[in-house]
Copies of this chain bind each other. A is one copy, B any other.
Amino acid sequence: MNERSFFSEIFLCLSFMPTDKKTAILKSVLHLVNSVGFYHLNMKMIAAEAGVAAGTFYLYFKKKEDVINELYNLVVDEFNQAVLNAYQDDGDIKVIFTQMLEAAIQFYLQQKNYFSFIEQYTYAPFLFKENQEQNFVLLLPIYKMMRKGKKLRLIKDIPDAILLSIIHGSMNTMIKMHYAKKVSLNNAATRKKFYQACWEAVAVS
């Protein structure tokens, strides 16, 4: 089983949702946030892209920002699902660590829209009030693995926030650089080097 087919089963749940109007709207927003950004997103675009009438939106969402928040939850769930699937309770912690990073990166490589959406959502404070406490939801599976590594004295006994920042922050920037064509994550050797560097940051030396 190649990587693509392995992940496509997991990732594409939004893509395979029944093609009803509500799903069409959610997909339309996901696509538009990536192409025009939150700032320029408007109801006319959403309706046109979804192939529905302007009023139809309000049968499924109370107001514009609701679709954003609902979409965020869907996207986060998919991401967590993808990364958790890479988590094995038994097994070498470095292998698990690497597999989770790999899962996360593959997720974003195959779903540019998801990455773009999460980035904008996360870095837009006060865009939507519900945003304020969700910032680090994405990190939950990674967090779980980390705690285990600490117990086994394989991962440094330093504040979780530091470990999370290194893992999550550097991964995000790597993906951004990939999309900005500063580096190619399609190259497995490059990914391996990245995972190794991350590991050395967090591992007990």
With a CB–CB cut-off of 8 A, which chain B residues contact A163? 197
**B120 and A198 contacting across the interface, CB-CB below 8 Å:** no
15 additional contacts, CB 8 Å, given A165-B177, A197-B201? A37-B126, A38-B124, A39-B126, A120-B123, A124-B124, A135-B176, A156-B197, A159-B183, A162-B193, A162-B194, A163-B197, A164-B177, A165-B173, A165-B174, A169-B169
A171-205 to B contact mask, C-beta < 8 Å, 1/0: 11110110010110000001001100110111001
CB distance from A66 to the nearest CB of B (A): 15
Residues of B within 8 A of A180 (CB): 135-136
A173-B182 in contact given A37-B127, A201-B198, A205-B200 (Cβ < 8 Å): no
A174→B169 contact, CB < 8 A: yes
Asked if A158 lies at the interface with its beta carbon under 8 angstroms from chain B, I say: yes
- A–B Cβ pairs within 8 angstroms, 20 of them: A36-B126, A38-B124, A39-B124, A116-B125, A120-B124, A120-B125, A122-B123, A156-B193, A156-B197, A161-B174, A161-B182, A162-B183, A165-B171, A166-B198, A169-B173, A169-B174, A170-B170, A170-B201, A198-B201, A205-B205
Residues of A within 8 A of B (CB): 34-40, 116, 119-120, 122-127, 135-136, 156, 158-159, 161-166, 168-174, 176-177, 180, 182-183, 190, 193-194, 197-198, 200-202, 205
The number of times this chain is found in the oligomer is 4
Q: Which residue of B lies closest to A39 (CB)?
A: B127
Min CB distance, A108 to chain B, in Å? 13
Closest to A180 in B: B135
Most chain B beta-carbon neighbours within 10 Å: one of A120, A162, A168: A162
